Amino acid sequence: MLSKIITGLLILGFVSTSQSGASEAKKNIKQKNSIVVLQTNQGNIELKLFPKVAPLAVENFVTLTKKGYYNGVIFHRVIKGFMIQGGDPTGTGMGGESIWHKDFDNEYAPNIVFDKPYLLAMANRGPNTNGSQFFITTAKTPHLNGGYTIFGEVVKGKDVVRKIENISTSRPGDMPLFKQVIKKAYVK
């Protein structure tokens, strides 16, 4: 009987330890950090972040923004009628890392889905492989539900997103023929 109690306590300890990262992230994210502005060569995009829905993604994005990580980075992948993608300092779609220098887990909320354009989400290579890359949808994309962390939305500059979306791109690769640069990113 005593061994069952000890085993139960150990299991609870492991569960609470594995959830502490998200709990700490929730504590660290303040409402004042919930707006990020991307100054691009096409104009400004203002993003409202969802810290209660995706605390790890928001903490990562805000911290990278404050460090100047996204300054000078391009939107390296643009697919009209789908999304614009950036956040890779190499500009290839193969680079970038999180503030923890390793991939972090996807975060989901049942009421936050890809049911409209202008959602901000983490780009990844598969489940739980989030780093620094992100994308902004330009259409409803329900086929992405359950595969990508939505952590914000565009509240100003939707016309700027459309300008970037409509830039001519290369085939293959969907890279804009004319660089679409995030000149500066900052927390408002």
Name the band, by pLDDT with cuts 50, 70 and 90, for residue 171.
confident
What pLDDT does residue 57 have? Answer: 99
Q: Which CATH class is domain 33-187?
A: mainly beta
- pLDDT of residue 133 exceeding 80, the answer is yes
Q: How confident is the model at residue 18 (pLDDT cuts 50, 70, 90)?
A: very low
- How far from 157 is each of 12, 40, 87, CA to CA, in Å? 46, 10, 18
Where does the pLDDT of residue 31 fall: very low under 50, low under 70, confident under 90, or very high at 90 and above? low
Residues 6 or more apart whose Cβ sits within 8 Å of residue 107 = 22, 53, 54, 55, 56, 57, 149, 151
Q: Give the pLDDT mean for 71-90.
A: 98
| Percent of residues, the chain, with pLDDT higher than 70 | 83
CB neighbours of residue 58 within 10 Å = 26
Model pLDDT, residue 10: 38
> What separation in angstroms does the CA of 184 have from each of 1, 27, 65, 147, 181?
61, 27, 9, 29, 9
Question: Among 21-30, 53-62, 95-104, 159-168, whose mean pLDDT is lowest?
Answer: 21-30
Give the residue-averaged pLDDT of 62-73: 99
Six-digit token string for 70:
């996204």
119-141 mean pLDDT: 98
Q: What ranges do the domains of the chain cover?
A: 33-187
Instruction: Provide the 10 A C-beta neighbour count for residue 26.
Output: 14
* pLDDT score for 54: 98
Q: What is the pLDDT of residue 33?
A: 72
CA angle 137, 139, 143 (to 5 degrees): 85
Cα–Cα distance measured from residue 187 to residue 174, given in angstroms and rounded to the nearest whole number = 29
Non-local (6+) Cβ contacts of 64 within 8 A are: 70, 98, 99, 132
Determine the pLDDT at residue 32.
61
Q: Work out the percent of the chain whose per-residue pLDDT is above 90.
A: 81
Nearest Cα neighbor of 82 from 141, 27, 132 is 141
pLDDT at 20 over 50: no
